[in-house]
Every structure is written in structure tokens, then in C-alpha cells.
Amino acid sequence: MATLRSLLKFWALSAFAIYGWLRLKLTRSPTLIILTYHRVLPESSDEREREQPGMIVSPGNLQRHIKLIQSLGAVPIHLDEWLRKKEAGEALPALSVAFTFDDGWRDNYLHGYPVLRQAQVPATIFLVTGMVDTGDTFWPEKVIRLVRTPGIDLSDQAFAWLQPYLSDRGSKSTPLSLLEADEIIHRLKELDDVTIIQHLEESTSLLTAEDNLADQVPVILQTEELKEMAGENLVKYGAHTRNHFRLNRLNSKEALEEQIAGCLSDLETMNVISVPIFCYPNGDITDGGEHLVAKHYQAACTTKTGWNRAASRNDFDLHRFNLHDGNSSTARTFLATIGRSLA
Ligand SMILES: [Zn+2]
């Protein structure tokens, strides 16, 4: 039975891969595919033990993606450049590809940039501007750090806020597995980001110094690194809010304004090569947020999957393909990931 199931899975994957390959090869009207990445970490990195599945690509896989997509005839281009040419009615290749990285992880500089530079492939990094130059990290990573630190009693009163989101069956003493941590993060998304961050700060102030949830070295990009990557015009920076707050969780116009317009003004004062393109955190869109994004930016990336036709007039609904080691470590799985969302 298990053999039959894995055989069926193999054929389904192969069918999607062939379909993806055919769609990419046969496209005639100018089309852009946008690839989304988050973290770039070597196989041996122990940071992988503290990250959600689906967030990481290895430098080797990134390199293979570049070669594969180029072998299909796709021309790497800066995202803003493709949009500009489209707007101006200039000639565009049948198939273009834009590489994008969300959140502004420092590993993009350490492990991603050398790959991009070697292949001379341009990319856009969507920055959370309030995190740049800080030693801070995002709340999901803090939750992982908390529940994966050995010897913490999560049934303690200090974690009362977290207890409804732990699994009923699971253990209440750490370390929990990465999978359990991931499930807790998904359940916590019921709460708004500010509440989660406040709870984490209160609870972690009770931890000992060595159990502190802060990282020893910065995990988010620093200004010097942003400048270095922009130096050869290979990397440009877009906006991913000021604090990575999900827009549908913000209920005042001021809070939305701060995250959307504030991020753009931060990018401008940072004096790096920025592009007026917004990327929605978690893909969450609200009417008020959408309106402000359209007012301040020229385009926006969503988490919807699919490709973008030059004939489309809506630059605020850009579709992307989210790639990570789990869905694109071979040519077949890479093409199946593309094919599945075009089917
Ligand atoms: Zn993000």
C-alpha cells in the first residue's frame, strides 16, 4: 500500500514537473516569474534547528535554481526594471525571472549574495526597516528559541499566555520538537503581533541570561552589508513594513500608515538603492492597507502563486513562487512546484 502511494506521488510530481516545464518553455507573450526566498543557510548551519520548515534554501539549491531557470530560457531581471519596461512599452523577453528575498535576513548577505554575485543575477530584498542594525529577530524565531531551550517549564505561571496554544498531548517541558514549535506559531497567529511580542518580552525577562532569547550575533542585515550588496547594482531593496506586523491585525489608520509609509521613508533615509515596491507580510491584505500601499508605492508583491503577464495592468497584485529546500531541492520538485500552481 505504501509502495503504491509513493508510486502515485512520484507520478503526480512528475506530471506537474512536465506541465511546469512545458508552460515555461512554451510561453510566448512576455511573462515574469518572481521567485520568493527567505533564509539562505548551508546544510550544516545549526540555525536550521531554530527555524520553521519552509523558510530555508541552501546556497547549493539557490545556485541550482539559477542554472535551471536560465537553462529554460528565463532572463534574470530586477523586478522594478521589468515593471518599468512594461510600463514604457519596451521590448521584454518571453520569459523573465526576478529573484526576491523577504524579511532581510543577514544570511542573505553571508550565503546568498556570493551565489548571486557569481552568477551576476539581480535580486530584490524586502526589508523590515525597524529591524535593520538591531540585534533583534522576529517573534516566531523567539518562540522557537523559547520552546527549544532545554529545561524550561512551560506550565509555569510566567507562560500562562502561551499555554492555550501548546498542544494538549504534547509535553510542557522543553525542548519541544521543531514541528511542535511550528504548530504553536501557527496557533499563535490568532493573536496580534504586538501582543505576542509583549508577552514574549515579559516571559523572557524571567529567564536566566544564558537562556536569553536574543541571538549572540545579529541575524538581520546591517546597513554596511546593505550598502556592500547594493554596490554592484545587483541588489535593490523594497519595503516589508517597519516591524513585520500583519496589516489585517492593525486597526488604526495611524498604525497602518506607520508600517506602510514609515517603511518607505526609512528606506529613503537609509540611502541604499531602494525601489518603491511593497511586499505584504504573511500575504495579509486589508482594504485600508491596500489603499495606503497604492498611495505610496508603485507595485506590491503578494503571497499568491502564479506568474505575471506583461499584459496585466495591476502591479499591486504580483504573484510569486515561494521556494525552499522542501519543495525545490531537485529539478523535478522545482518544476513541479511551478507546475502545480500554474495548473
Ligand atoms: Zn515576511
pLDDT in tens, 201-238: 988 777 665 555 556 789 999 999 999 999 999 999 99
Say how many Å lie between the CA of residue 134 and the centre of ligand 1: 17
What phi and psi values does residue 50 have, to the nearest 5 degrees?
A: -125, 30
> Can you name the residues that pair with 34 across neighbouring β-strands?
98
Evaluate whether 176 touches 170 at the Cβ level (below 8 Å).
yes
Say how many Å lie between the CA of residue 243 and the centre of ligand 1: 10
DSSP-assigned letters across all residues of 1-14: -HHHHHHHHHHHHH
Which pLDDT value is given to residue 287? 84
Residue 21 CB neighbours (<10 A): 19
Q: State the Cα angle at 255 between 254 and 256, rounded to 5°.
A: 90
115, three cell numbers:
551565489
Say how many Å lie between the CA of residue 281 and the centre of ligand 1: 5
Which residue in this structure is represented by grid cell 517573534? 139
Which pLDDT value is given to residue 205? 76
Phi-psi group of 127: left, alpha or beta (phi > 0 → left; psi -120 to 50 → alpha; rest → beta): beta
Say how many Å lie between the CA of residue 89 and the centre of ligand 1: 32
> Can you name the residues that pair with 173 across neighbouring β-strands?
153
Interval 14-55: pLDDT, tens = 999 999 999 998 888 999 999 999 999 999 999 999 999 899
Euclidean distance between CA atoms 175 and 162, whole angstroms: 15
Say how many Å lie between the CA of residue 283 and the centre of ligand 1: 8
Say how many Å lie between the CA of residue 175 and the centre of ligand 1: 26
Residue 24 CB neighbours (<10 A): 22
Q: What is the CATH number of domain 28-134+219-342?
A: 3.20.20.370
| Listed residue (127, 158, 334, 162) closest to 236, CA to CA | 127
Say how many Å lie between the CA of residue 282 and the centre of ligand 1: 6
* Residue spans in the chain of domains classed CATH 3.20.20.370: 28-134+219-342
Evaluate whether 263 touches 244 at the Cβ level (below 8 Å).
no
Which pLDDT value is given to residue 96? 97
- Residues whose CB is under 5 A from ligand 1 (ion)? 102-103, 281
Which pLDDT value is given to residue 313? 85
Say how many Å lie between the CA of residue 245 and the centre of ligand 1: 9
**Low-confidence stretches of the chain (pLDDT beneath 70):** 1, 169-171, 207-215
Residue 185 per-residue DSSP state? H
Q: State whether residue 207 is helix, strand or coil.
A: coil
Say how many Å lie between the CA of residue 18 and the centre of ligand 1: 31
DSSP strands (E only) in 50-122: 56-57, 75-76, 95-103
Residue 303 CB neighbours (<10 A): 16
What phi and psi values does residue 174 have, to the nearest 5 degrees?
A: -85, 160
Say how many Å lie between the CA of residue 29 and the centre of ligand 1: 31
Evaluate whether 142 touches 220 at the Cβ level (below 8 Å).
no
